Structure 1
């Protein structure tokens, strides 16, 4: 599954900024008042600074809605909102004449019809790689994006951003099971089939040069895994099959590819919210 996106692509420097810029941006914001000395501001300059600060400030109504729907505190919501706006700025571009810019059409929590920006696939990929240590192949990365993008707008909206992070950082095991299953259910029909297992695993496994037919090895592995997961013996894995298997062996939660952050990555990210 190709993810070519020339207009939305970012440079290597941009990718690094996604990884390091967030923490530096937040640290700089906290320290600015104590370490910077600036000349007296004119009225015009003060207005520009005020406008810039307001652009990164989450409205109280939105903050309250997010607080009700997630486990984040008000201070955490403010920080995550700033990060969201920072990431959106990386892929903002002018709308084509006669067309609506997709980065301006996703919904805001509490305002379903409001115009709002979003994070595109390229920036989202960099966030998963560089912030949450999720390094995986294109198909699985695309599936993670699709599951986060509940509005099917081809962007991660503000609402999707907070709900996705809530699951990533503080989601229960039951929520994580449902998330992983939805990611692996490629055609969204409620089942993981052998064909879907094969597609997910064939690009994740290390190919050895001496193997005459690497795909046969993948098929053999899929047969073994299917026997493990298929509790009702109907040659496909339902959500109930998946839940029962993970309850027995929690280490199989991400059997078909990494789609959740490591504990270390979660702890590091949460530390930036304090």
Structure 2
């Protein structure tokens, strides 16, 4: 989960300029998220200014996300991230979709954050993570960070990362990682827990 640092840095205040919501929905969102009304109003103004249509499709999401990682190819990771935010599976991210996810990432409990991360890694949303899914995620992260990242990454690094992940998390060696295995392992890993807390108060 080392890429959480990069992920949450990218999903701070600058990303709030991408979306829009109805002002009358702010009271509802304040109840549903861990943001204050003032924070939501600031987020809303940025979204309204930059996205009059009120939603962002995947192509736009990819284009904007690529600005944060110009040294690599972020398109595949942005695709996975888009699907995690697109909770309604309608091919677009509204202000509500985004702010609900942002609330979990930045202000949620450890369990909420880990559940969100699990959903991101579970690419086909079948309730478990396979080694192939983890390899795809890891490859997308290495691609996003660029081939010139120091130290230089080997082409085999994504697979090796996925193999290490499974050795640590697949407790019953059945070839998949369940949410229970994921939560248990992450909560015992000090490095993961520190990364979960790093951006709690970024906004």
User: TM-score, structure 1 length as denominator?
Assistant: 0.54
Q: Describe the shift of the 1:126–1:174 C-alpha distance in structure 2 as closer, same or farther (beyond 3 A).
A: farther
Shift of 1:232: 2.3
Query: 1:244 is matched with which residue: 172, 175, 184?
Result: 184
Corresponding residue for 1:158?
A: 95
Residues 185 and 192 in structure 1, CA contact (< 8 A), matched pair in contact too: yes
Residues 167 and 176 in structure 1, CA contact (< 8 A), matched pair in contact too: yes
Distance 2:132 2:161 in 1: 12
Q: Higher relative CO (CA 8 A, sep ≥ 6), structure 1 or 2?
A: 2
Shift of 1:263: 2.7
1:181 aligns with 2:121: no
1:130-159 CA distance string (max 9 Å, x none) = 68xxx8732222111111111212111132
Shift of 1:249: 0.5
Distance 1:250 1:122 in 2: 36
Q: Give the SS at the match of 1:214.
A: coil
Query: 1:121 is matched with which residue: 58, 68, 71?
Result: 58
Corresponding residue for 2:151?
A: none
Query: 1:230 is matched with which residue: 155, 162, 170?
Result: 170
Q: Structure 1 unaligned segments of length 5 or more: list them.
A: 1-17, 23-54, 93-116
User: TM-score, structure 2 length as denominator?
Assistant: 0.70
Corresponding residue for 2:32?
A: 69
1:58 aligns with 2:23: yes
Corresponding residue for 1:263?
A: 199
Shift of 1:175: 0.9
Residues 87 and 123 in structure 1, CA contact (< 8 A), matched pair in contact too: no
Which has the larger displacement, 192-201 or 235-244?
Answer: 192-201
RMSD (Å) for aligned C-alpha atoms: 3.7
Corresponding residue for 1:137?
A: 74
Corresponding residue for 2:3?
A: none
Distance 2:86 2:15 in 1: 24
Q: Describe the shift of the 1:82–1:207 C-alpha distance in structure 2 as closer, same or farther (beyond 3 A).
A: closer
Distance 2:16 2:130 in 1: 40
Tell me the matched-pair count: 179
